[in-house]
Amino acid sequence: MRHFHEELDQLKAKLVRMSGLAEEMVRIAVEALLERDQAKAAEVIQRDHAVDELEVQVDTAAIELLALQQPLAKDLRFITSATKIANDLERVGDHAVNIAEALEYLLKVPPFPPLPELEEMARISTGMLADALSAFIRGDANLARRVVQVDDRVDDLHENNFRILLTHMMEDPRKITAGMDMLLVSGNLERIADMATNVAEEVVFFVEGRTIKHHAERRDTAH
């Protein structure tokens, strides 16, 4: 039983912790937004620090493992994927923070009429993130592929939000500030979905050694 495997497990544990934190941040940010809860928003902003630190730790551990243990095959793919996933998770954290910060401005103006599309988007994005991270922890390439397929839906929802918000803002100029903030929130949720997609693509790479990035698989099977 080599100590290398122990260190690999430790790296994975860091990623698991990081993914748990990122998921939570997104969930609480969305709750804060929908419930207009300032306290929750503040919590999200606080947690970002831990996620940033974990990213640095993952990078350091990964480079050390590469230099000192010369891993091969799946171990090697796992380590290179780990750095990318950590990077993506850190950005997820940042996007969650952005959403929480948007709340600050939104609280200053009367609440916007409910936007079911936005709520659906939030639901789907958080679901994608959760699934992508599950796929990573379990090494489930099929689940990861399903995550990738959902991304188009999120992109469509973002476009819809854009049109809806534009309509609202054109109707009533007083709603422009809030509308812009809501648009930004939509954008951040769309980016979170993209990050989840990235993570899912990395999972397929490290499990199967296959790159599905940039629609590579779709291109291959296109007729």
Q: Which residues make up the interface to another protein (CB under 8 A)?
A: 1-4, 63-64, 67-70
Nearer to another protein, 62 or 193 (CB): 62
- Residue 4 C-beta: closest distance to another protein, Å: 7
Separation CA 80–CA 62 (nearest Å)? 8
The token pair at 164 is 């809806």
The identity of residue 69, as a single letter, is Q
- Residue 167 C-beta: closest distance to another protein, Å: 55
Nearer to another protein, 2 or 108 (CB): 2
Separation CA 58–CA 82 (nearest Å)? 7
Nearer to another protein, 80 or 160 (CB): 80
Separation CA 30–CA 1 (nearest Å)? 44
Q: How far is CA 141 from CA 62, 133, 166, in A?
A: 22, 11, 39
- Residue 1 C-beta: closest distance to another protein, Å: 8
Q: How far is CA 154 from CA 3, 117, 118, 150, 219, in A?
A: 43, 10, 10, 7, 21
Nearer to another protein, 7 or 52 (CB): 7
Nearer to another protein, 4 or 112 (CB): 4
- Residue 66 C-beta: closest distance to another protein, Å: 9
Residue 65 · residue 8 · CB < 8 Å: yes
